[in-house]
Amino acid sequence: MRGTTGDGNGTGPAVRRRKVLVLGSTGSIGHSALKVAKDVPDHMEIVGLAARSSVDTLVAQVAETGVKQVAVTDAAAAVRARELLPKDVEVFAGDEGLVELVRQSEADMVLVAIVGTAGLRPTLEAIEKGMDLAVASKEILVMAGEAVMGAAREKGVAVLPVDSEHNAIFQCLEGRSSSEVRRLILTASGGPFREAPAESLASVTVAQALKHPTWTMGTKITIDSATLFNKGLEMIEARWLFDVPMSRVDVIVHPQSIVHSMVEFVDSSVLAQLSHSDMCFPIQYAVTWPQRVVNSLQPLDFAKLASLHFEAPRVDVFPALRLAREAGEAGGTLPAVLNAANEVAVEAFLQGRIKFPGIWELVERVMQAHDQVAHPDLETILEADRWAREKAGEWS
């Protein structure tokens, strides 16, 4: 690995300094990634940034990091970025520009934090170049987990999870075989309506759905947390990341969001990973793995925590987990359809076209109408995605 040095006294592990390209740098994950780079500069250097349209934020990030390559997928925003950025900063435009940024980057790791399908092609390009992946965009593995993980294995590329839940499982497994695993147990905060009566959900407002009790996240993922679709997508993601069947992926509600996930092994022992709710923890571990590095993040005070609470999810009230399990078990193009229909349904709710329960009702309707294709290639996956968006748009 490039950028490794000794510790200066001939003992201890070498320091590995990752050159990281951040796709989705202006979102919450991107902001956290830049914090990590400042906190552990001997281990992480940002060498490229990509955003959709938040040009002012991107310009500030370029000034902070000194990167010379960026991508802006919105065409008008890319023009403005070229006007505002120094002349020696190369700006790639559009979805193809995102792929070209990866192709030309000197990074040895790509942090993928792009919401939706836009991250799929640059992810596959990064694998083709032999770059390790730090994956925060769950849609990539939901839509194309079989293809992405297969390509990564073929190229010897590490796929390191950044979602707090999957990063927790990754830490608990420590390279153990999936044959030793009885269950992967993803924790869920339960969202703002964890205890709400089922009959009250039809009157939920957008403002209420956006008040997450634990995490500060983007609009779409916050709504997904309220419906539990976020956790459903994570179930499918876990199935591919850790090579286990859907039947061995479970969800437990844990409102404090201190236990980020657990692994139950075949001997009935359970390992858990705990930390405060701060995305800097999983981002740092993905970048510095397999080393653990001193940082400025707040440690846990167990005396102050006092107690941790767990409860079963209300699958009858929030069907997202059932729909995700069905899609994950069926495989093929159905997970892509679930993901695409959910994106359209969330937008329809935000715009006031459907009620809150209409999100999962619309997703189920689109799933039931889909003619599934097993073991699809990339074009078939993208076609299923387009079809699902069109159908969901017609019916919302």
Cα 2 from chain centre:
26
The helix or strand, by DSSP H or E, that contains position 36, with its residue range, turns out to be helix 28-39
β-bridge mates for residue 214, sequence order? none
184 DSSP assignment: E
> Residue 282 corresponds to which tokens in the numbers above?
């999983």
Q: Is 164 annotated as a binding residue?
A: yes
Q: Is 234 annotated as a binding residue?
A: yes
Q: Is 225 annotated as a binding residue?
A: yes
259 neighbors 273 (Cβ within 8 angstroms): yes
Count of Cβ atoms closer than 10 Å to residue 41 Cβ? 10
**3-class SS at 25?**
coil
> Residue 211 corresponds to which tokens in the numbers above?
């008040």
Q: Is 200 annotated as a binding residue?
A: no
Handedness of CA 159, 163, 165, 167 (dihedral sign): positive
The helix or strand, by DSSP H or E, that contains position 160, with its residue range, turns out to be strand 159-161
Q: Is 26 annotated as a binding residue?
A: yes
Cα 135 from chain centre:
6
β-bridge mates for residue 259, sequence order? 274
Q: Is 342 annotated as a binding residue?
A: no
Handedness of CA 250, 251, 256, 261 (dihedral sign): positive
Q: Is 174 annotated as a binding residue?
A: no
Give dist(CA 186, CA 125) in Å, integer: 30
312 neighbors 287 (Cβ within 8 angstroms): no
Q: Is 165 annotated as a binding residue?
A: yes
**Before 122, cis peptide (omega within 30)?**
no
Q: Is 295 annotated as a binding residue?
A: no
E-strand ranges in the chain read 4-5, 15-16, 18-23, 44-51, 69-72, 90-93, 109-112, 132-135, 159-161, 181-188, 249-253, 259-265, 270-274
93 neighbors 53 (Cβ within 8 angstroms): no
Rounded (10°) CA dihedral 337, 101, 72, 240: 20
Q: Is 296 annotated as a binding residue?
A: no
Q: Is 27 annotated as a binding residue?
A: yes
Please name the residues in contact with 353: beta carbons below 8 A apart, sequence gap of 6 or more: 396
Binding site, annotated residues for NADPH: 26-29, 139, 218
Binding site, annotated residues: 26-29, 138-139, 163-165, 189, 212, 218, 225, 230-231, 234
Binding site, annotated residues for Mn(2+): 163, 165, 234
Binding site, annotated residues for 1-deoxy-D-xylulose 5-phosphate: 138, 164-165, 189, 212, 225, 230-231, 234
